Amino acid sequence: MRKYILIISSLFLFSCEEEDIQQNTSMGLLINEFLASNDACCPDQSNDYDDWVELYNDTQDPIDIGGMYFTDTPDDDNPYQIPTTDPSKTTIPSKGYLLIWCDDDQEQGPLHVSKKLSKGGESIILLSQDKITVIDSYTYPEQTTDISMGRDPDNVTNWIFFENPTPGSKN
């Protein structure tokens, strides 16, 4: 109830700002594919069969995701900040792909986040360095082990299942 009142008052007082915050800016950096239940699909560099999210940089310039935030929960008070310590690993080249491992194995590198993906359905949310602006997000339904879900290459606004996941490359 308190939150509801807060939102109402925010709408009256800060209508412009509120719109800006809630707008999905996309910015050409997309969540492109994910696997929420990995049994035999594809291991990370530590040979773990972990959940992953594939990002795609649909811009003309490289994008460093270091400092951006990742979460599986809308309105998360504690999203995971991707480290800024190694831009060589967190930078996506123009028209390139990058995998985020959702394994809670942060010691395995800057692309291993503390949030795991639920097979039963959840959200995937990438936030800007300001911790507020949604760069891209997707809320997915129940998943099947080793079958990924991603953007249809023929219509990128449409999400479909892939029996043959393509982590790190075109869907």
From the list 103, 122, 124, 126, which residue makes contact with Ca ion (rule: CB under 5 A)? Answer: 103
Task: List phi, psi (to 5°) of 140.
Answer: -110, 155
Task: Identify which of 2, 4, 101 has the alpha carbon closest to the alpha carbon of residue 53.
Answer: 101
Please, are residues 155 and 169 in contact by the beta-carbon 8 Å criterion? no
Query: Please, what is the Cα angle at 3 between 73 and 31, to 5 degrees?
Result: 25
- Total site size for Ca ion, rule CB under 5 A: 10
Residues of this chain, 25-44, that bind Ca ion according to CB under 5 A: 33, 44
Cβ 32 to Ca ion shortest distance, Å: 6
According to DSSP H, which parts of the chain are helical? 2-13, 15-22, 87-90
Cβ 58 to Ca ion shortest distance, Å: 13
Cβ 47 to Ca ion shortest distance, Å: 8
Task: Identify which of 56, 168, 166, 70 has the alpha carbon closest to the alpha carbon of residue 117.
Answer: 70
Cβ 119 to Ca ion shortest distance, Å: 17
Q: Which is nearer to Ca ion, 131 or 170 (CB)?
A: 170
Q: Which is nearer to Ca ion, 54 or 133 (CB)?
A: 54
**Rule CB under 5 A: is residue 50 a binding residue for Ca ion?**
yes
Cross-strand pairs, 71: 125
Residues that bind Ca ion (CB under 5 A): 33, 44, 46, 48, 50, 54, 103, 105, 166, 171
